[in-house]
Amino acid sequence: MTFHPPSKSLTPRDYVFIAFVVILFALISAALIAVNFKLKGGGEFYMNWAASRGFIFEKIDPYGAEVPARVQQLVYGHAVKMGEEPYILDAPFHFLVFYFTCALFSDPLTARAIYTWLLQLTLIPLALLSLRLTDWEVPLTFGALFAALGVFNFYSIQALYEASPVLILGLLYAGILFALRAEMDELAGALMAASLYYWEVGAPFLLLVFFRVYYQKRTRVLNGFLMLLLVSLAASFLLYANWIVPFLRAALVNLRADFGYNIRVILKDMFPAQGVWLALGMIVVLVVALAYEWSVARRSDFRRFYWASCLSIAAAPLLGLRTEMENLAVLIIPLALIFAIVHDRWSKVADFLTLLLALFVFLIPWALSLLPFKFARDIIFLFLPLFTIIGLYWIRWWAIRPPRIWTDLAPRPNS
């Protein structure tokens, strides 16, 4: 006869605590949704919402001219002008399917408020998962500090303002790294298939992952990738059989539009005589650096691959592709590695140095955004990628090398 120990039942005190947490979450969520109704912007969401709703209820081509016209009226109140984003849908149709639920809301403000609330819920998990990747035994105070930095930094707020799915992409990128390290290969492949969006944000990172997976012959990753991708594509062709040509046409039009940030345009405006060459030199240096790091990371341990992944994410905005300010929110992933190594290696001044770095990353963009300076927004855009790349090379030695001597292995005093 097998003995089964009695399971521990919840006490009245446990029920009270659970009820308190649920009520607190509901109140915070209601407050966030109420605030979201007051926000302007939201063009990234409105583009997908208008395309989805038009396709479902009016049989409008999501890649046609009607959708941008509607979104421009919602965001600007007028037709697009020079330098403004035209909001032309250039996402593959199988990604648009994920917005079909939001399209059930007829009021764009309500749909956007709820969607932004979902994005707000991803910020803390993104910051915490980024910390988890570092294996940093972070003190509670600095874990909370980094989570606050991840939520309230200038770039995350910009992503929320635009209701951009880039925050979800950041969570997917962190999930890919976590799944690869845990050898959950099918999950890693599925997450890769779900993140084939916003090439200007994740292309270098995803190319590195594919390069390493192919070299290591981890076929289960490719199986998970192909399984989700083929199912998604099959569903998209059942719903809209001829979406490929309109999608490619819209992508080409969007590529020619004059909006967003580009390292070549920025440096040319700031330094008319030498800007183009400065930008070209920076791009060449970054491409060479990435090529070298990728060639080594494909066959190295996870530490080296993780550092190269962080470099790929940080370098993407500076490779010459046009991108948006809110897309820099994904750099919270490499920032976590920088903070972890700094706090671990300089233990005598760890608290002060970590706090100083956090304040620097937080305050500089917000301070620049208040200045009536012609190139303020351009400098804000350049600030985070440059800071992150410099930081990654600063901590590179300790990040890619496991402990080798007794003093490295010895436990450090608690902060």
188-243 pLDDT, tens digit per residue, is 999 999 999 888 999 999 999 999 999 999 999 999 999 999 999 999 999 999 99
Is residue 1 in a domain? no
321-377 pLDDT, tens digit per residue, is 889 999 999 999 999 999 999 888 877 777 788 889 999 999 999 999 998 888 999
Q: Does position 153 have pLDDT exceeding 80, yes or no?
A: yes
Is residue 30 in a domain? no
Number of domains observed in the structure of the chain:
1
257-283 pLDDT, tens digit per residue, is 778 899 999 999 999 989 899 999 999
Please give the pLDDT value at position 400: 84
Contact 343, 136 (CB under 8 A): yes
Among 95, 145, 113, 93, smallest CA distance to 46 is for 113
Confidence of residue 299 (pLDDT cuts 50, 70, 90): confident
Is residue 19 in a domain? no
Mean pLDDT, range 304-310, rounded to an integer: 96
The DSSP bridge partners found for residue 384 are none
18-44 pLDDT, tens digit per residue, is 888 888 888 888 888 888 888 888 888
Mean pLDDT, range 275-304, rounded to an integer: 93
Q: Does position 414 have pLDDT exceeding 60, yes or no?
A: no
Q: Does position 409 have pLDDT exceeding 50, yes or no?
A: no
Is residue 31 in a domain? no
Mean pLDDT, range 286-293, rounded to an integer: 96
In terms of average pLDDT, the best of 135-149, 193-207, 389-403 is 193-207
User: What is the crossing angle of helices 263-270 and 376-394, to 10°?
Assistant: 120
379-390 pLDDT, tens digit per residue, is 999 999 999 999
Rounded CA-CA distance 93/89 in Å is 10
**In this prediction, what percent of the chain has a pLDDT beyond 90?**
63
For 378, what's the count of Cα atoms within 13 Å in the CB-facing half-sphere?
Answer: 14
Report field, pTM of the whole predicted structure over 0.85: yes
Q: DSSP letter string over 106-158?
A: S-HHHHHHHHHHHHHHHHHHHHHHHHHHTT----HHHHHHHHHHHHHSHHHHH
Is residue 5 in a domain? no
Boundaries of domain holding 198: 36-409
Is residue 415 in a domain? no
Mean per-residue pLDDT of the chain: 89
Mean pLDDT, range 397-408, rounded to an integer: 63
Rounded CA-CA distance 347/349 in Å is 5
| Count of residues in the chain | 415
Is residue 75 in a domain? yes
Contact 283, 318 (CB under 8 A): yes
Is residue 13 in a domain? no
